[in-house]
Structure 1
Amino acid sequence: MSGTDKPIGYWLKHLHNLIEKQFDATLGDLGLDRRQWQILNALSSAARSRSEIEQALAPFWPDGVPHFGAILDGPDGLVTRGWVADDGDALNLTEQGRAAHRRAAERVGETRRLLLHGLSPEQYAETVRILSVMADNVETALASRAGVQD
């Protein structure tokens, strides 16, 4: 069976799992996982509230609801390490957090280059466009189905 004989669901799930493993390999020795990286990266451009971070990361959680307790405040949490400051209204990167983000960003860039190796920018853009259209198709169908059931 060739790769093109497998359905898109297989490739989406397989690629997702491989990306998770690659992030673990890329960031593990820095004491970071993918979710922690995503928070550091989201905070690298501006302070954000917990709810803004939760909304931004919701698609990456299996149940769609981010669980930040351990990521931020647990024993290895970003606040606990002193990488993120929480003033009650907003989360901000500290100087230590900015340094950690820079180290991780270099490695994440390498991972992205590895992931996109052999693809032109146009092929990548078209792949993202196609996946976006497919997601929109399913969202529309689900919304219309929900409207029928109400």
Structure 2
Amino acid sequence: MEAPKPIGYWLKHLHNLLEKQFDATLADVGLGRRHWQILNTLARGHATRDELMEALAPFWTQVEPDLDKVLEDVAARGWTRPGLPVEANLLALTDEGRAVHADIAARVETTRAAVLKGLTVEQYTETVRILSVMAGNIEADLAAR
């Protein structure tokens, strides 16, 4: 009998599957998960490039195009514009960007529903809470070294 796989295995495996699922969900519109994350972040309000970089840093990998390339792609599609005041280097969604975000948000919601199938809201909430506590424990331990 095979020993149960440790949490690290399942976290990495789930992460990789989520990346593949997002790619499949957005492939027909030529977008990736980072496009979605930029649009979703800007849908909550204006942000600077640095704010986007900070918000997305935990998700970015070495094999992906850098933030500036994805921002250029999103801007070239007409989905972003400079926010106001322009001198603050803010980015904002255009009306078209908001419409695209709404379309993609519906797709993402369907994808999330597939991920959470068979789980209650309470189970999901508790899983996230437990992972958060574990991360905090590790951060505290590393800070104490």
Query: Is the TM-score greater than 0.5?
Result: yes
**Could you say which residue in structure 2 is the equivalent of 1:40?**
39
Misfit runs of 4+, over 3 Å: none
| Structure 1 runs not aligned, ≥5 long | 146-150
Superposed CA RMSD: 1.7
Cα deviation per residue 1:54-90 (whole Å; 9 max; x = unaligned)? 1111111247xx93111011xxx10111111134611
CA distance in 2, matches of 1:28, 1:93: 21
Structure 1 residue 137: Cα displacement: 0.8
Please, what TM-score do these two structures have when normalized by structure 2? Answer: 0.89
**Could you say which residue in structure 1 is the equivalent of 2:52?**
53
Between the aligned residues of both structures, percent identity stands at 57
Cα deviation per residue 1:27-56 (whole Å; 9 max; x = unaligned)? 111221001100000111211111111111
Matched residue type, 2:57: A
**Could you say which residue in structure 2 is the equivalent of 1:6?**
5
Please, what TM-score do these two structures have when normalized by structure 1? Answer: 0.86
Instruction: Give the 3-state SS of the residue equivalent to 2:81 in structure 1.
Output: strand
CA distance in 2, matches of 1:45, 1:69: 20
1:97 lines up with 2:97 in the alignment:
yes
CA distance in 2, matches of 1:92, 1:25: 26
Instruction: Give the 3-state SS of the residue equivalent to 1:59 in structure 2.
Output: coil
CA distance in 2, matches of 1:30, 1:62: 22
Matched residue type, 2:134: M
CA distance in 1, matches of 2:141, 2:4: 26
Instruction: Give the 3-state SS of the residue equivalent to 1:92 in structure 2.
Output: strand
Instruction: Give the 3-state SS of the residue equivalent to 1:78 in structure 2.
Output: helix
Greater shift in the superposed pair: 77-86 or 108-117: 77-86
Q: Which of 77, 80, 85 pairs up with 1:81?
A: 77
**Could you say which residue in structure 2 is the equivalent of 1:21?**
20
Greater shift in the superposed pair: 46-55 or 32-41: 46-55
**Could you say which residue in structure 2 is the equivalent of 1:111?**
111
**Could you say which residue in structure 2 is the equivalent of 1:148?**
none
CA distance in 2, matches of 1:8, 1:56: 25
Contact 1:48 1:90 in 2 (8 A): yes
Matched residue type, 2:17: L
Matched residue type, 1:71: V
